């Protein structure tokens, strides 16, 4: 791969990402959303967060897999249920996943 | 969720993502290592982290380039992975009340983790928390990338430390307090189901964008009159 190919990708992805991120805030910033959109926007966070949990727990390169992340996230769920602080939840998830991975090889 | 005793500010945002900053530093370093191994050189990966600032898209682009994939495939994959930032940007927009550059800066720092910690339920977002969290994660990501390209494989695979489980754990910890009513729970379950169902069939990134369609459940009834963001104390 040539260096110019690398820079084409870096510049194109950079400009596209900056533009995608800026779109909403720059065009709509500071103005209340139309009332019709308030209902859907209120549900965007739970819908996307749940999707991010699911994909980051089970997703791997266009497949669904059960690996050491699953017990880690399950342990995190228990910690959340026990009202542990977020820091503890994250440490529990990483530690359980690391141990399961080390044991399972 | 119980009403917070006081309004959250920048420091609360920084504190909220601090535990994750270590994971982000580790993944930044592994991105630096991977990008260099893929033949991207030293400067390009650092520039990409500083401008694109989106982990999954950068990993995808580097691995496609490293395996000899087409330039167009690398660009398309990265853009698809980042397309979710369009609806995410729209959701925070009403709360970004500053001038052009202020809104632009906040927008660039709006990534999954910072957006999630800045969410205050019922579609409200705290721009100060977003900024504080964003600056910490941005510094961790760029610094991690520099460490990765400069020193190579010092920490090994972040997966050995279980750091890949840190991200879904954070998202779950931020999701659970929002599940206060039936409609929110339905949107969350539908979003997860859409994402999982599509994963085997479409390129990475598309399942997450498609999952945002679950928020259309909110169209079913007229929303309660929510106060304008400017009117809260």
Q: To which residue do tokens 């909403």 refer?
A: A24
* Cβ pair B79:A93 closer than 8 A: no
Which residues sit opposite B125 in a β-bridge? B119
Q: How far off is chain B from A57, nearest CA to CA, in Å?
A: 6
Which tokens sit at B128? 């100060």
* Cβ pair B75:A16 closer than 8 A: yes
For the whole model, what pTM was predicted?
A: 0.83
b (16+ CB within 10 A) / e for B191-229: bbebbbebbeeeebbbbbbbbbebbebbeeeebeebeeb
Task: Report how far residue A72's alpha carbon sits from residue A70's, in angstroms, rounded to the nearest whole number.
Answer: 5
* Cβ pair A57:B174 closer than 8 A: no
Q: Going residue by residue through chain B, which has 233 residues, state the pLDDT in tens, using 9 for 90 and above.
A: 445 567 899 998 998 898 889 889 988 998 998 898 888 999 999 999 999 999 889 988 998 888 888 899 889 989 988 999 999 999 999 999 999 999 999 999 999 999 999 998 888 999 999 999 999 999 999 999 999 999 876 667 788 888 889 889 988 998 998 898 999 999 999 999 999 999 999 888 889 889 989 999 988 765 455 555 544 44
As for the ipTM of the complex, it is 0.90
* Cβ pair A6:B87 closer than 8 A: no
Task: Report how far residue B135's alpha carbon sits from residue B145's, in angstroms, rounded to the nearest whole number.
Answer: 15
Q: How far off is chain A from B32, nearest CA to CA, in Å?
A: 14
User: Which residues in B lie closer than 8 A to residue A67 (C-beta atoms)?
Assistant: none
Task: Report how far residue B43's alpha carbon sits from residue A64's, in angstroms, rounded to the nearest whole number.
Answer: 35
Closest listed residue to residue B171, CA positions, set B186, B155, B191, B153: B191
Task: Report how far residue B189's alpha carbon sits from residue A30's, in angstroms, rounded to the nearest whole number.
Answer: 31
What proportions of chain B, in percent to the nearest 5, are helix, strand and coil?
A: 70, 0, 25
**For helices B43-51 and B10-37, what crossing angle results, to 10°?**
150
Residue A78 touches partner B, C-beta closer than 8 Å: no
Contacts of A99 (CB under 8 A, 6+ apart): B162
Task: Report how far residue B130's alpha carbon sits from residue B133's, in angstroms, rounded to the nearest whole number.
Answer: 5
């Amino acid at each position: 791969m040539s260096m110019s190919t690398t820079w084409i990708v870096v510049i194109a992805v950079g400009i596209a990402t900056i533009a995608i991120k800026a779109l909403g805030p720059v065009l709509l910033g500071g103005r209340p959303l139309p009332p019709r959109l308030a209902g859907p926007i209120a549900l965007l966070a739970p819908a996307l967060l749940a999707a991010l949990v699911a994909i980051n727990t089970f997703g791997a390169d266009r497949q669904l897999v059960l690996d050491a992340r699953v017990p880690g996230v399950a342990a995190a769920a228990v910690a959340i249920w026990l009202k542990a602080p977020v820091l503890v939840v994250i440490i529990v998830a990483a530690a359980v996943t690391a141990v399961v991975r080390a044991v399972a090889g | 969720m119980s009403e917070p005793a006081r309004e959250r500010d920048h420091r609360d945002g920084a504190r909220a993502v601090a535990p994750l900053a270590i994971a982000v530093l580790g993944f930044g370093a592994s991105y630096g290592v991977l990008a260099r191994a893929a033949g991207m050189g030293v400067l390009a990966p650092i520039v990409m982290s500083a401008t694109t600032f989106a982990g999954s898209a950068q990993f995808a682009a580097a691995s496609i380039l490293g395996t000899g994939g087409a330039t167009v495939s690398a660009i398309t994959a990265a853009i698809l992975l980042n397309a979710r930032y369009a609806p995410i940007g729209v959701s925070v927009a009403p709360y970004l009340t500053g001038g052009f550059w202020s809104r632009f800066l906040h927008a660039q720092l709006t990534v999954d983790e910072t957006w999630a910690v800045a969410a205050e339920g019922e579609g409200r977002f705290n721009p100060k928390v977003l900024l504080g969290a964003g600056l910490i994660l941005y510094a961790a990501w760029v610094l991690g990338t520099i460490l990765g390209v400069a020193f190579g494989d010092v920490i090994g695979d972040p997966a050995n430390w279980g750091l890949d489980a840190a991200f879904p754990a954070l998202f779950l910890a931020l999701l659970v307090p929002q599940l206060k009513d039936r409609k929110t729970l339905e949107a969350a379950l539908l979003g997860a189901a859409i994402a999982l169902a599509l994963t085997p069939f479409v390129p990475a990134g598309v399942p997450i964008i498609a999952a945002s369609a679950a928020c259309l459940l909110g169209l079913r009834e007229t929303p309660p009159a929510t106060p304008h963001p400017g009117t809260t104390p």
